[in-house]
Amino acid sequence: MASLTTNLTALQQHVAFWDLNNDSIITPHEIYTGFRALGFSTLFSLGGLLIPFFFSYPTTLGHSWLPDPLFRIFVDDIHKAKHGSDSGVFSPTGTLRDTLFSEVFDVNTRGEDGCEEGEGDKKIEERSLGVSDLIRLHARNRVAADPAGWSFAAMEWWTTWLLLQREGRVWEGDLRGVYDGSLFYRIREERIREGPVRERREGWRQGYGFGDWWRGVWGYGNWRVWEVKGEIEPQESSNKHSDTNFKAWSIDVNQQQIAGNESLGEI
């Protein structure tokens, strides 16, 4: 029922990762499998089945007025599933607006010293968004009388942070890869290369999971400590993601706690 698309829009590329058999149709099973390939837990991946529940019918309208009984998502008409209260980076037809993507960081990013970007003496090499920045971004984009859009946007940004965070922040290069879908394939390949030995330095070493939360409870600190750490240690360039992330997790627990406490005392 769906036609194969040769020239994909940015939004179609964004979701094409879940089209495992390249038939321009995404099934609920493919959504679950895709989330698992990205490293999400079984429970979280099952929660991802809310996506076809809410977004299947809008993509079906290009083919039929009747809902699809299998809750499939049709890639060719994925732009019909756009919701309100989003960042506007995707246009109504599914193309990527570079100006609005840059504006996500221009308006919401804060520098290492807590000032708006461009203020103060310190500058970061690559722009990034912390948790407080994402909350501010979500609040800024909310449209009146659109609770559904608020909810969808909140879930999307929360999922993005869980997948991408490095030292508590979402970095511009990684976020760009999420919008055009290219980063999903990289994560899957790196997780496959990682193999069964979790202690290897290979593989995808970003994101936040239950193990990170447990380590945070018993010594590493939460996302606020990562934000403070970003103020006292210069950020690495984006082309050093794997090495930077490994070093961050290799810091001695006591040293990190002392540094965090000293920085908090200055605020």
Q: Are residues 202 and 70 in the same domain?
A: no
pTM value? 0.72
Q: Which domain covers residue 19, as residue numbers?
A: 1-81
**Per residue in 28-69, pLDDT tens?**
999 999 999 999 999 999 999 999 999 999 999 989 999 999
**Structural domain count of the chain:** 2
The last residue of a domain, from among 48, 81, 114: 81
pLDDT value of residue 120: 38
Shared domain for 70 and 103, answered yes or no, is no
Task: Flag the least confident range among 22-26, 134-138, 242-246.
Answer: 242-246
- Is residue 171 very low, low, confident or very high in pLDDT (cuts 50, 70, 90)? very high
Alpha-carbon distances, residue 263 vs 133, 224, 232, 256, 260 (angstroms): 20, 11, 8, 11, 5
Q: Which of 65, 81, 97 is the last residue of a domain?
A: 81
Please tell me whether residues 168 and 201 are part of one structural domain: yes
Both 194 and 232 in a single domain?
yes
